[in-house]
Amino acid sequence: MTDTQPVSSEPTAPKIPRTKEKLDELASAGTLQYKLKNFASAAELYADASEIQAELNGELAPENAELLFLYGRALFKVGLQKSDVLGNRVAQEDKKQPKAPKKAKKTEEANGGTKEETVASKPFFQLTGDENWTDSEEEEEDAEGGEGGEEDDDLSTSFEIFEMARVCYEKQLQAVETANEGDKGKGKAELSPQARAIKEKLADCHGFLAEISLENERFHDAIEDARKALALQEELHPLEHENVSEAHYILSLALEMASVHKAGDEPAETEERAASNGTGKPQPDAQEIDYAMREEAAKHTELAIRSVEARLKKAETVLAGDTLSSEQKKETETLMKDKKGALEDLKTRLADLKTDPKSASLDAIDPSLFQGLVGSLLGSDTSTMKAKLEEATKSANDISGLVKTRKKEKPPVAASDASSGKRKLEVENEEANGKRVKTEDP
């Protein structure tokens, strides 16, 4: 007798052919969807294409770099979109939806029935283990990873894809440099077009990796990638290039964020610092500031300002000439207006970085608060202070007659209590409420 296996009624999805033609078709479709800003659809198409590419070439083949870069960029856009949605629309929908009522725990009785647990039915002490795991705890865990989990997965996957693309680009660059070993030492101007294109993609990879780390609050990781991105951008472009100013800004942002940390996140406080807080112990909630990082952040903000100013100066020179048409001049003027706004923001940021955040709250106090009587007394001699106080006293209004108070009658003090010096236990409040303090057993 042969065993019969049940046949699944669900239709199986057709398998995508693993061919070079299908790979090119999926990649082209993904590029079209990305141009239309359909980033989720583009990411799915790039994912299928990357799967075929890995089977055809190997997972980390140098020729896989471009498609992996496109896939990572699309996933990054999807993660940012979901981050915006979760911050606004989803939060509003959650407020509208009523919370599901919690299920009452039930215990089996001896007769096979069930009863709802109450405080009276529970013993005073209970030992519980994994067998008492409830559905509510599982639901809480699902809720924690439900809304933000998918967004984190997109950004985390994007980070991994960019890392793979970076490795592939580095393999390409190594092969090009090996082939051009005889041209080494001729400087930046002799950089071959192929090597330049690879380094531009490498700089973009490090830039995206730094931004993802910033999104996930991994600030020290962001600093490492931002430094590498800046080094490549400075090698490839002059100071006034937009990529250079953006790289300086990203690095300064990462440095500023990493400079502020909780006291417990760093090595133990020194004895002097612990003694300065008055408790003799470190304060775990207190924020510590790495001023060296903050100064470096200010330095890169200054360099970003110089970059934008140089770009504006170059644009003004072009506008003064006759090389641009009227439409091109309008576009250039619009871009200059935007850059001037960004320049003002950078200058404001630089001023904030040069201000000690710990003393900013004290510096923000309005000085007019000290311009009254107390302010006039500060720095005056004794006779002047006395005269001003007398003048203020004469002009003051006495309102004590308007205040009505009710005198309390003092209870008679017993002789024994007065002679012993002990205070009597006050129980007026309890007796007024109909209650009496129990002082002895019945």
- The verdict on residue 224 lying in a domain is yes
CA-nearest of 128, 131, 106 to 118 is: 106
Domain C-terminal end among 310, 325, 356: 356
Same domain, 251 and 337: yes
| CATH label of the domain that carries residue 300 | 1.20.58
Q: For residue 190, is pLDDT > 80?
A: no
What is the spatial distance between Cα 370 and Cα 368, in angstroms, rounded to a whole number? Answer: 5
- The verdict on residue 49 lying in a domain is yes
Residue 150: the pLDDT is 53
Q: For residue 390, is pLDDT > 60?
A: yes
pLDDT band (50, 70, 90) for residue 420 = very low
pLDDT digits (tens, 9 = 90+) for 148-170: 555 568 999 999 999 999 999 99
Lowest mean pLDDT among 337-341, 377-381, 431-435: 431-435
Lowest mean pLDDT among 105-114, 369-378, 382-391: 105-114
- Average pLDDT across the chain, whole number: 73
Residue 108: the pLDDT is 43
- The verdict on residue 333 lying in a domain is yes
Same domain, 53 and 156: yes
Same domain, 63 and 174: yes
| CATH label of the domain that carries residue 74 | 1.25.40.10
Contact 241, 307 (CB under 8 A): yes
Same domain, 195 and 344: no
357-379: average pLDDT:
52
What is the spatial distance between Cα 234 and Cα 264, in angstroms, rounded to a whole number? Answer: 37
pLDDT band (50, 70, 90) for residue 3 = low
Same domain, 65 and 160: yes
- The verdict on residue 159 lying in a domain is yes
- The verdict on residue 282 lying in a domain is no
Strands (E), 198-263: 260-262
- The verdict on residue 440 lying in a domain is no
| Percent of the chain residues topping a pLDDT of 70 | 55
pLDDT digits (tens, 9 = 90+) for 77-102: 999 998 865 544 444 444 444 344 34
Same domain, 229 and 298: no
Q: For residue 249, is pLDDT > 90?
A: yes
Lowest mean pLDDT among 189-198, 207-216, 265-274, 381-390: 265-274
- The verdict on residue 80 lying in a domain is yes
* Domain that includes residue 54, residue range: 16-90+150-181+190-236
Residue with tokens 């490839």: 236
Residue 149: the pLDDT is 52
Give the CA-trace dihedral at 313, 315, 316, 319, to 10 degrees. Answer: 160
Residue 127: the pLDDT is 44
Same domain, 252 and 166: no
Contact 107, 114 (CB under 8 A): yes
Same domain, 217 and 331: no
Same domain, 251 and 307: yes
pLDDT digits (tens, 9 = 90+) for 7-42: 555 555 567 888 999 999 999 999 999 999 999 999
Domain C-terminal end among 309, 338, 356: 356
Same domain, 321 and 352: yes
Contact 71, 160 (CB under 8 A): no
Same domain, 156 and 57: yes
pLDDT band (50, 70, 90) for residue 425 = very low
pLDDT band (50, 70, 90) for residue 212 = very high
- The verdict on residue 133 lying in a domain is no
What secondary structure letter does DSSP report for 64? G
108, with CB counted inside 10 A (0-12, 13-18, 19+), is exposed
Same domain, 252 and 341: yes
Total domains present in the chain = 2
pLDDT digits (tens, 9 = 90+) for 121-146: 444 444 444 445 455 544 555 544 44
Residue 58: the pLDDT is 93
